[in-house]
Amino acid sequence: MEDARAAGRRVGFVPTMGALHDGHLTLAREARARVGEGGLVAVSIFVNPTQFGPNEDFSKYPRELEGDVERCASAGVDVVFAPDAAAMYPEGEKTRVHVHALSTPLCGPFRPGHFEGVATIVTKLFALVGRSVAVFGRKDYQQWRVLSRLAEDLMLPVEVVGVRTVREKDGLAMSSRNRYLSNEERAKAGAIPKALGAAARRWNDGERDALALRAMVEAELRAVADSIDYVEVRHPLSLEPYAAGDQALVAVALRIGKTRLIDNVVIGEEPPPA
């Protein structure tokens, strides 16, 4: 990385947990677009234990390094970095990074410690990679906001970029966890982008009442979800409850079967997802 920079190459960085799909490859292509053909694009693959709760899917999270390396090569990635847990969390390590306020709402209460785990690993990765443009997917919208804040607050030489969610034909946000869904569950999941799309259209028709938007999304999700963690309408940058403004984040988290899915749309900014 240092050599590349010394030679005047810009570095684009895409942190991932592997099980790469077209959404990730879009992030790699965005990194390439940012650093140019002469730049260096690096992807990290690390299933980070500290961001999973005790009852979450750490042990069953898909691991397929060989296929991932091939996918990276096909997307023009120059370097794949796949450390093991002992390299990232050596014995005796004690430091955790916590981004206040932005880690608190939305997924915060449902995944205690999650954003601290994410912030900690990404700080370590940013320290290793150094001056770069780091590209994240906006499917994990709150994560993107947390990490943008983190880079700024810690004065890291990293520009954090968020890329719009890449979706399947029916609008379902691409996610490594979609593979947990049975066919029947996968069909139900199509209701998520539809509900967000309906909210976006209501917004475009002039609706600004957050409670009304929330109620309508929730009603649509109730028809398919086994449980709903939240449906929230928030300010897209501060993540405070939406009060006024030309744009709003509508974010949802729900379970279909055993699989927890999240999705969002920034209404007033991006087109309806379905």
> Nearest CA to 203 among 269, 268, 274, 273?
268
Question: How near is the Cβ of 175 to ligand PAF at its closest, in Å?
Answer: 10
Tell me: does residue 122 bind ligand PAF (CB under 6 A).
yes
- What gap in Å lies between CA 5 and CA 77, rounded to an integer? 16
Listed residue (84, 143, 153, 155) closest to 117, CA to CA = 143
Residue 140, interface with ligand PAF (CB under 6 A)? yes
Residues 45 to 64: which contact ligand PAF by CB under 6 A?
A: 48, 51
Nearer to ligand PAF, 175 or 220 (CB): 175
Q: How, if at all, do strands 11-16 and 158-163 pair?
A: unpaired
**Residue 165 touches ligand PAF, criterion: CB under 6 A:** no
Q: How many DSSP H helices and E strands does the chain contain?
A: 9, 8
Helices (H), the chain: 2-6, 22-35, 65-74, 85-88, 114-129, 141-153, 183-189, 191-204, 210-222
Is 26 a residue that touches ligand PAF (CB under 6 A)?
A: no
- Residue in 11, 12, 13, 16 binding ligand PAF, rule: CB under 6 A: 16
Residue 30 within binding range of ligand PAF, rule CB under 6 A:
no
Spatial strand order of the sheet with 79-81 comes to: 79-81, 40-45, 11-16, 132-137, 158-163
Catalytic residue check, 24 = yes
Q: How far is the CB of 213 from ligand PAF (least distance, A)?
A: 27
| Rounded CA Rg of the chain | 19
Let me know: does 35 contact 177? Beta carbons within 8 Å: no
CA-closest candidate to residue 253, choices 224, 271, 227: 227
Count of residues touching ligand PAF (by CB under 6 A): 10
Nearer to ligand PAF, 147 or 225 (CB): 147
Alpha carbons within 13 A on the beta-carbon side of 44: 24
Least distance to ligand PAF, CB of residue 121, Å? 5
For ligand PAF, the binding residue among 11, 121, 195, 196 (CB under 6 A) is: 121
Return the number of the residue (138 or 188) whose C-beta is nearest ligand PAF.
138
Q: Which is nearer to ligand PAF, 41 or 122 (CB)?
A: 122
Min dist CB 254 to ligand PAF, Å, is 19
Q: Find the catalytic residue in 21, 24, 114, 235.
A: 24
Among 12, 15, 39, 162, binds ligand PAF (CB under 6 A): 15
Nearer to ligand PAF, 107 or 267 (CB): 107
Asked if 17 is part of the footprint of ligand PAF (rule: CB under 6 A), the reply reads: yes
- The answer to whether 72 contacts ligand PAF (rule: CB under 6 A) is no
CB 166 within 8 A of CB 137: yes
Q: How many CA atoms lie within 13 A of 35 on its CB side?
A: 30
Segment contacting ligand PAF (CB under 6 A): 57-65, 90-98, 114-122, 164-172?
A: 114-122
Active-site amino acid positions: 24
Residues that bind ligand PAF (CB under 6 A): 15-17, 48, 51, 118, 121-122, 140, 143
